[in-house]
Structure 1
């Protein structure tokens, strides 16, 4: 039976093959896809960028070569980074603190309760799902802004500042009808039907309003 590449996936990275097999079996019994790797380097070479579907990473803290904390830092620089669940046979407090500060979902010390791990996986998958959707929306909005002409961006900046068409026309030195035309094109290209929606879209991508 082939893997469903569209389903949420749990990536397991541990240099102990028996641990990988045990975790993969547990994950599959919980109806998730499981993909195992014996090293951080192998995982980095195989992972999809950007992430097309929700996923999470069960990661051993200490491994030969690239360690768990280093891999976590590498992933953190990516768009919609995959959430990390750390497991360790001898996790020390400083490593645990560092992992959590870097955004780990949780840190489990072996032996751990199976249900604790599976609940962490469920939480991580849902977190990643929301992150992917948010990142995708921001990228879409940026493409829409890029499609605007320079004049349309100027008009949009004034519109989200709360300026009326007549005020915008005075600021830009054009007639009010011209502003209305540009404003209509802005709303169409940004795929919004109200100024409130336009404001929210601009805020989400850091597009600044004009200063009155």
Structure 2
């Protein structure tokens, strides 16, 4: 994955796209331009890192339709809509669909830059959280079947003797497995271990 954040600009008006690109690059940001939704869809959307500046009204596939496709492939890519023809229903629909912002042209340069920086920050935070969850899952995957069973029972509030009874093993064996589990999960306290299990269970529940 390309970890360099990029501002992806999709606007069928090349002059507008050039203007936005030059403005953002003057602040040190990296940009890429696309002049249709179809052109943008040729990129590996699931691997994109940064944010998307998206025009609402474009030939063939609209910005709102493209937004739906992006959400299916890369939910962590924030979208900022810009348009010269926006109306209230369109803005409401964009925000309901999860757009970060809806700017109507003409907008102030600083307003646009601030909005893009918020989108990049949102993307960075989302990726950090995703990587953290993946790290926890990788630690869980490193556990043996017995360690996993003991971790779930302990996280459910069972004391050592109860866990031992449920699994028909000695309390000492439970303690040994628990120590190994704590080490593999990089949990310094039981509370940290429980929190990680709760997070994983929540992710499993929501899919």
The question of a shared fold, defined as TM-score above 0.5 by the shorter chain, is answered with yes
Where do residues 47-66 of structure 1 align in structure 2 (5 Å cutoff)?
Answer: 47=44, 49-51=46-48, 53=49, 55-66=50-61
Q: Give the secondary structure class of the aligned counterpart of 1:81.
A: coil
- In structure 2, the partner of 1:23 is 20
- In structure 2, the partner of 1:155 is 150
Whole-Å separation in 1 of the counterparts to 2:133 and 2:101: 27
How many residue pairs end up in the alignment? 202
Q: Structure 1 regions of 5+ residues with no counterpart? A: none
- Select 2:189's aligned residue among 174, 191, 194: 194
Q: Give the secondary structure class of the aligned counterpart of 1:25.
A: helix
CA displacement at 1:37 relative to structure 2 = 0.6
- Select 2:166's aligned residue among 165, 171, 179: 171
Higher helix content, 1 or 2:
2
Whole-Å separation in 2 of the counterparts to 1:190 and 1:48: 32
2:30 is equivalent to residue 33 of structure 1: yes
Structure 1 residues 151 and 6 mapped into 2: Cα distance closer, same or farther (>3 Å)?
A: closer
- In structure 2, the partner of 1:106 is 101
Q: Write out the 4+ residue segments of structure 1 that deviate beyond 6 Å after TM superposition.
A: none
- Select 1:132's aligned residue among 95, 103, 127: 127
* Structure 1 residues 157-181: Cα deviation after superposition (integer angstroms, max 9, x where no partner): 1111222211210121111111112
Which moved further from structure 2: 145-154 or 101-110?
145-154
Whole-Å separation in 1 of the counterparts to 2:150 and 2:202: 12
Whole-Å separation in 2 of the counterparts to 1:194 and 1:170: 23
* Structure 1 residues 142-198: Cα deviation after superposition (integer angstroms, max 9, x where no partner): 222222222222101111122221121012111111111221221122121211111
- In structure 1, the partner of 2:86 is 91
Where do residues 65-80 of structure 1 align in structure 2 (5 Å cutoff)?
Answer: 65-80=60-75
TM-score (ref. length: structure 2): 0.90
Whole-Å separation in 1 of the counterparts to 2:23 and 2:202: 46
Structure 1 residues 140 and 33 mapped into 2: Cα distance closer, same or farther (>3 Å)?
A: same
The answer to whether the 8 Å contact 1:86/1:104 transfers is: yes
* Structure 1 residues 70-108: Cα deviation after superposition (integer angstroms, max 9, x where no partner): 111112223552101101111122111010011111111
The answer to whether the 8 Å contact 2:85/2:104 transfers is: yes
Structure 1 residues 79 and 23 mapped into 2: Cα distance closer, same or farther (>3 Å)?
A: closer
Q: Structure 2 regions of 5+ residues with no counterpart? A: none
TM-score (ref. length: structure 1): 0.88
The answer to whether the 8 Å contact 2:10/2:52 transfers is: yes
